[in-house]
Amino acid sequence: MSVGSFDFVPVILWTDALIFALLGVVLALVWFIRRHPHLRAPWRSVARRPMTVGAALVLVVFVFIGLLDSLHYREKLSDSLPGHPQYSVEVLSAFDALVGRLRTQQEKTYSAPLALRLYAKEFIERDGMTVRDYPRLKYGGAHLKKTDAHASDIAWRIFAGLGQGLAASLLLFGLLAAWQARRHDTAFGDWLAAWRTGHLGWPGRTLVLVLGLMLMLGAAMAHLAADYHVFGTDKVGQDVLYISLKSIRTGLVIGTLTTLVTLPLAILLGIAAGYFRGWVDDVIQYVYTVLNSIPGVLLIASAVLIVQVAIEAHPQVFDTAAARADIRLLALCLIMGVTSWTGLARLLRGESLKLRTLDYVEAARAFGVSHVRIISRHIFPNVFHLVLIAVVLDFSGLVLAEAVLSYVGVGVDPTMYSWGNMINGARLELAREPVVWWQLGAAFVFMFTLVLAANLFADGVRDAFDPRLEARR
């Protein structure tokens, strides 16, 4: 916030606070792991897997966009009186400020990807006559005086973006090579030879290749998006690329914050059921059996309706559309977490039943060691790999679940950007003639990329942390 002029005021939503709290926990965990060699060893194994490193780079890009989109603020109105600033009710983010033209350049209605004209015919004035034709877009391709140069302009922008991305990739690769050669006290050429043959001890070729491809693709997209709608526009003329990028935050929030609810319930109840057995096991099994017998969609729908009623009953608490949509998203994360912990709890219960019979656990119990200490020192460390594997595997499932729930109308707020809302909005347009396909296609591409990267990363983590797989090797 500008101290003198108060050009904007920060806005902290509930999900923003939780996201950055989670980021702080992750950074603290990274610092803790770096100080303990036995914890660092499996992560070193993860970092040596080429497919996992490539997937991690893609996930880093998605997370970076999501974090930028979590820095919210409200702009000062231009007609505010001096000394009495008034702020807009629209909540923007740092990502909106970075890609302002994508947000503000809004057309009248549908337009196809990289098109110059609207997708539907209208009555327009031409040479003093009213004709029915496809009108030119207000922003897309407006820099072109003649439509004949359309294809050549797109090709030039693609090649220029690819060239700039390649130049940036080569520059970063040269800096990396010089730094690594100096760090290991080797000749520059020797390091390049080791990189080319894959004898660095870490997947350097994969790192450079994936990073180079992302830079080239990003630069080409940036050149095209400067004057075109790369993925077309939706029904109200908003850029579909902008909507797709804004939907990344929603997918990440669903996948991460839901885990914060799932993990404590699954770990505490699952380990307690397996370790204590008896009536404790019976009660916990009864609880998750009852939960599993209720359709999850019904629980989620009822919770969303309750939250919606609470929002309408307290309009003074949720004074902006962003605040109302955010609290509904948070409620969706909570109810999904409450209904999705049972699978991991069952897995931890079975593993705890086996671990409690091992000799060192029996010996600790015979010497009078407290149950809390036994669980924290002997049980939980031996099931932690299951927890970590379940987290990374369930992330992609939660992202897909949001799309399904939004499609059936019980997901996030309809005003919030999400891939599920994009799919829901595109389903009726598939019956049009001609078909409006690009909104569904864009949601599919982004969701597919995120879920595929998460699954590939999960495979690497599973292989590195599962001791049974390590024993087979």
What is the tens place of the pLDDT at every residue in 271-287? Answer: 998 888 888 888 988 88
Q: Which residues contact 230 (CB under 8 A, 6 or more apart)?
A: 113, 114, 221, 224, 239, 241
Instruction: Provide the terminal-to-terminal Cα distance of the chain, rounded to the nearest Å.
Output: 56
The yes-or-no verdict on residue 469 having pLDDT over 60 is: no
Q: CA dist 346 to 134, 271, 281, 377, 379, Å? A: 59, 9, 11, 21, 15
Summarize the confidence of residues 210-239 as an average pLDDT. Answer: 91
Structure tokens at 60: 């880093």
Summarize the confidence of residues 146-153 as an average pLDDT. Answer: 86
Confidence of residue 472 (pLDDT cuts 50, 70, 90): very low
Q: CA dist 360 to 355, 374, 455, Å? A: 9, 10, 36
CA nearest neighbour of 252 among 260, 264, 242: 260
Higher local confidence (pLDDT), 62 or 382: 62
Alpha helices in 184-313 (DSSP H): 188-197, 204-225, 240-276, 278-293, 296-313
Element (H, E) at 100: helix 100-104
> What integer pLDDT is reported at residue 470 of this predicted model?
52
> What integer pLDDT is reported at residue 468 of this predicted model?
56
> Residue 355, Cα to own-chain centre: how many angstroms?
36
Alpha helices in 314-418 (DSSP H): 321-339, 342-355, 359-366, 371-374, 380-407
User: Rounded distance, CA 370 to CA 374, Å?
Assistant: 6
For 442-468, letters b (16+ CB in 10 Å) and e give bbbebbeebbebbebbbbbbbbbbbee
> What integer pLDDT is reported at residue 160 of this predicted model?
94
User: Rounded distance, CA 445 to CA 186, Å?
Assistant: 42
Summarize the confidence of residues 460-469 as an average pLDDT. Answer: 71
> What integer pLDDT is reported at residue 467 of this predicted model?
56
What is the tens place of the pLDDT at every residue in 330-388? Answer: 888 888 888 888 888 888 998 888 888 888 888 888 888 888 888 888 888 888 878 87
- What average pLDDT does the structure give for the chain? 84
